[in-house]
Amino acid sequence: MSRHASKATLKTLAQELELSITTVSRALKDGPEVRPETIARVKQAAARLGYAPDRSAVNLRTGRTGTIAVLFFVPHAYDDVGDGSITAIIEGVCRRLEGLDYTPVVQLLTLEVDGLERVRRIVEGKLADGIILSGTTPQDERVRWMLERRFPFVTFGRTELFTPHPWYDVDNELAAHQATAHALSEGRRRVALINPPETLTFARQRLAGYRRALAEAGIAYDPALVVHGGLGAGESREATRALCAGEDPPSAIVCATGVVAIGACAGLRDRGLEPGRDVLVVSRDGTRMASYLEPPLPTCFASLSDTGWHLADFLMRALDGAPVEDLQMLVETTLVPGDRR
């Protein structure tokens, strides 16, 4: 029955065992210059006294924190429907970091929060060994800043910066093309697009894919059918109501996320329109959310859990000094039809 009175340190252990602090420290990390017998003795005492290394001391000394910061961008007020993406991503990150003594810690970024400020705090305060960053813009200042400092990071989403950096991305151009083409192939010719804020790289790529699909079908691009804005369910619902206000509502809506799709469906019903029948709603998701709705929505799917895994993987390899060319990956979405399964 140990007392655990106050925290045990190397000093405590050294006194207890009549060894030097140095030897204790080395023994705990299986240093080759300490006798196996001593190692056993030290580890036993450490367990008995409940020793745990003081992370800030280790960090101060070594510069290593054992922490990975995950800065996740939530491009909407957390109003109505919580965004489940983050849990899926973290699950993937955790899966990759399993057993690696890196701990992921998550911070949420919104449109209001100054992302650069957060990044600076983390880098300058040495709060993490690496950063996983989402919500990239073409000329992302946070990315630029980290590149300048040579701080290890990986982004979810590309930038247009000249200097290459590790990234993982879903092919949003493809996804939007897929979704739009699917709608067109179902005979829907007035296809609307509900898109994220225009500043995001993500948004531009989606717009490009959407326009390409329209062009291929020989349909003129109509800016009135494109909405840029927050990605909350409430915002999407509003946008959908607005789209359907006139006498000529769209016959399909291509959505940027599952939450957006839920909002769009609600907006349609507000106008007395039936999703799937009157207006086809095509979702883009990283979870299986859309398949649970009624009717199940056709969805451009790319697993967020896998995304998390790869992001963490790239970061780990970046920390190991892997060349940046190996740390860039574009994943394709697959169109999951909305049929009842």
Binding-residue pattern over the window 237 to 256 for a copy of itself, x denoting contact by CB under 8 A: x-------------------
3-state secondary structure of 55: helix
Stretch that binds a copy of itself, among 10-18, 166-174, 245-253, 262-270 (CB under 8 A): 262-270
Size of the site for a copy of itself (CB under 8 A): 61
- Phi, psi (degrees; rounded to nearest 5) at 16: -55, -40
Rounded distance, CA 254 to CA 195, Å?
8
Indicate whether 25 belongs to the interface with DNA (CB under 7 A).
yes
Tokens, residue 252: 């399909």
Q: Please measure the distance between the N-terminal and C-terminal CA atoms of the chain and give it in whole angstroms.
A: 57
Instruction: Return the one option of a copy of itself, DNA, none that residue 90 interacts with (CB less than 5 to 8 A, by type).
Output: a copy of itself
Indicate whether 26 belongs to the interface with DNA (CB under 7 A).
yes
Tokens, residue 330: 């574009």
Instruction: Return the one option of DNA, a copy of itself, none that residue 25 interacts with (CB less than 5 to 8 A, by type).
Output: DNA
Binding-residue pattern over the window 40 to 59 for a copy of itself, x denoting contact by CB under 8 A: ----------x-xxxxxx-x
Residues of span 2-21 touching DNA by CB under 7 A: 7, 9-11, 18-21
- Asked if 282 and 255 count as a contact pair (C-beta separation under 8 A), the reply is yes
Identify the CA nearest to 169 among candidates 327, 10, 6. 327
Among all chains, which residue has been given the structure tokens 């140095």?
22
Q: Out of 40, 57, 215, 224, which residue is the one contacting DNA (CB under 7 A)?
A: 57
Shortest separation between residue 7's beta carbon and DNA, angstroms: 6
Stretch that binds DNA, among 55-63, 72-80, 251-259, 298-306 (CB under 7 A): 55-63
Indicate whether 124 belongs to the interface with a copy of itself (CB under 8 A).
yes
Rounded distance, CA 48 to CA 41, Å?
11
Residues 6+ positions from 141 with CB-CB distance below 8 Å: 116
What angle do the packed helices 21-28 and 10-17 form, to 10 degrees? 110
- Phi, psi (degrees; rounded to nearest 5) at 246: -70, -175
Rounded distance, CA 248 to CA 96, Å?
49
Rounded distance, CA 127 to CA 161, Å?
25
Binding-residue pattern over the window 167 to 196 for a copy of itself, x denoting contact by CB under 8 A: ------------------------------
Contacting positions for DNA (CB under 7 A): 7, 9-11, 18-23, 25-26, 28-29, 33-36, 38, 51, 53-54, 57-58, 60-62
Contacting positions for a copy of itself (CB under 8 A): 4, 7, 50, 52-57, 59-60, 65, 74, 78-88, 90-91, 94, 103-108, 120-121, 124-127, 148-149, 233, 237, 259, 262-263, 265-266, 269, 275, 286-289, 291-294, 304-305, 340
